[in-house]
Structures are given as C-alpha cells and as structure tokens.
Chain A
Amino acid sequence: GESVGLHLPTLSVQEGDNSIINCAYSNSASDYFIWYKQESGKGPQFIIDIRSNMDKRQGQRVTVLLNKTVKHLSLQIAATQPGDSPVYICAENLNNPPPILNAGGTSYGKLTFGQGTILTVHP
C-alpha cells in the first residue's frame, strides 16, 4: 500500500504486505530528514533519518528514500505487522536557526513536522 501523507492521511495494508508512506517537504534547503512513529498516548519515537547527501538509507525492516528533485520523502516498511499501526510523521530540518556547535557535536535547532499518516494493518 502507498499513501501521500498530506492528502491521504490513512493507509490501510494487509499484514505481511510492504507499506510506503509518503511525505512532501517544503524547503529545498533542508538538509536533514527524519521519520518518527507515534503510538496513541505516547510521544514520537525515532525510526530512521537521512541527510540530503544521500538518497536512500536502510534500517531494520524500514527504508527511507529521498528525492530532492521533487522534494519527496518516503518510508518503506517491509512485511508490515499489526504492531506497525501508529501514526508516522516526517520532519525536515530547515537550518533556521543555523546549527549550534556544542561539546557533544552539532545540535540542529528546528524541525518542521508534517501532519502524519495513520497506518492501519489488517490481519
């Protein structure tokens, strides 16, 4: 199954199928992107991230794809399971304000979040 996060906020898939969740980001100058999942009643939980100098990054059962030409980010979930059913939210780093260098590294100051896509997994 596939969704466009801003226009179809709900994606229904069968258990075991692959899911593709899409996100259109706003700023061509954004250089860092991140996917979170949020279960009901909980805070957003990090899934995977990608920098703008990459177009693909793989994690465990998840892959993030970045298409800078059309400002599009997608999250692919392999073999979707019932436990994959929270809301998925994408975010971009606009670099405004610019990153701050501290003792632990660079702290990126501002993420802009999309609305989120609800993933429903049917047995």
Chain B
Amino acid sequence: DTAVSQTPKYLVTQMGNDKSIKCEQNLGHDTMYWYKQDSKKFLKIMFSYNNKELIINETVPNRFSPKSPDKAHLNLHINSLELGDSAVYFCASSLQETQYFGPGTRLLVL
C-alpha cells in the first residue's frame, strides 16, 4: 500500500544507453514531480506535472523526457545516458503544499 512507488529501485547501465524510470502514486494527488539528488544530498527539481500538464521544466538536458499518461503516473525517460547522470532520482506528489516522496531510484552509469 505504498503511497508513492518507483521502479526500478536500482539501475546500473552503460554510458550511451536509454533507460526509463516509472513512478506511480495512489494518493489521488494532482501534481507529480521528479527530483535529482546528488552525492551531497541536494534535492533539485527537474520536472513537475499538474493533471498531466507540464508546469515546471527546469534547465535539464533534453535527453530527459518526462511522460504522464494519467495523473497517477509520471515516468522519466533518459536518452544517451552520461556518467554525470549517476544520482538518486526521486518522484513526489502533492495535493496541496506538502510533497510526498517515493523511495528513490539509484542510477549508476558506468
């Protein structure tokens, strides 16, 4: 009965590959987010969708493309993975001010 879930939890891949991370929330929230957390624990917003509509698109390489098939799902596709993409990626959702986070996807690009 996890509120915000992400798959996979771990992702190890080679440079240049394309990969996707999936996120689902069963909280009935309208807004979903993708964050990147670096090795110093800084959480940085990448994208935000409200009712399947993109509302935040930070300065992120266009190799990163979010997709929201419905308001309960927000997936992140990454093309041509680079070493610097290695990080923990968190999905979150909110109905009002408080954002609820998923468990994270640990991406390691070799």
Given A46-B98, A107-B96, A115-B41, decide whether A100 and B31 contact each other with a Cβ distance below 8 A.
yes
Given A100-B50, A109-B31, decide whether A43 and B104 contact each other with a Cβ distance below 8 A.
yes
Interface residue? B95 (CB, 8 A): yes
Interface residue? B7 (CB, 8 A): no
Q: Does A108 lie within 8 Å of B97, measured CB to CB?
A: yes
Task: Give A contacts to B, CB under 8 Å.
Answer: 32, 34, 36, 38, 41-46, 49, 87, 89, 91, 93, 97, 100, 102-113, 115-116
Smallest beta-carbon distance B102→chain A, Å? 5
Q: Does A44 lie within 8 Å of B43, measured CB to CB?
A: yes
Interface residue? B55 (CB, 8 A): yes
Chain B residues near A43: list those with CB within 8 A: 4, 90, 92, 101-104
6 A-B contact pairs sorted by A residue (CB < 8 Å): A43-B102, A100-B50, A102-B30, A102-B50, A104-B29, A109-B48
Chain A residues near B41: list those with CB within 8 A: 38, 87, 89, 115-116
Q: Does A105 lie within 8 Å of B96, measured CB to CB?
A: yes
Instruction: Identify the closest chain A residue to B96 (Cβ).
Output: A105
Q: Which of A45, A102, A107 contacts B101 (CB 8 A)?
A: A45
Given A104-B28, A109-B56, A110-B56, decide whether A42 and B94 contact each other with a Cβ distance below 8 A.
no
Find residues 23-58 in chain B having any chain A CB closer than 8 Å to their own CB.
28-31, 40-45, 48, 50-51, 55-56
Chain A-chain B contacts (Cβ-Cβ < 8 Å), number: 78
Give the top 8 A-B pairs by smallest Cβ distance, nearest first.
A43-B101, A113-B43, A107-B31, A104-B95, A105-B96, A116-B41, A102-B30, A44-B101
Q: Which of B4, B28, B31, B103 has the most CB of A within 10 A?
A: B31
Q: Which of A34, A105, A107, A111 contacts B50 (CB 8 A)?
A: A107
Q: Which of A45, A103, A107 contacts B94 (CB 8 A)?
A: A107
B57-99 contact mask (Cβ, 8 Å, vs A): 1 or 0: 0000000000000000000000000000000001010111111
Q: Which of A89, A100, A112 has the most CB of B within 10 A?
A: A100
Instruction: Identify the closest chain A residue to B4 (Cβ).
Output: A43
Chain A residues near B56: list those with CB within 8 A: 97, 109-110
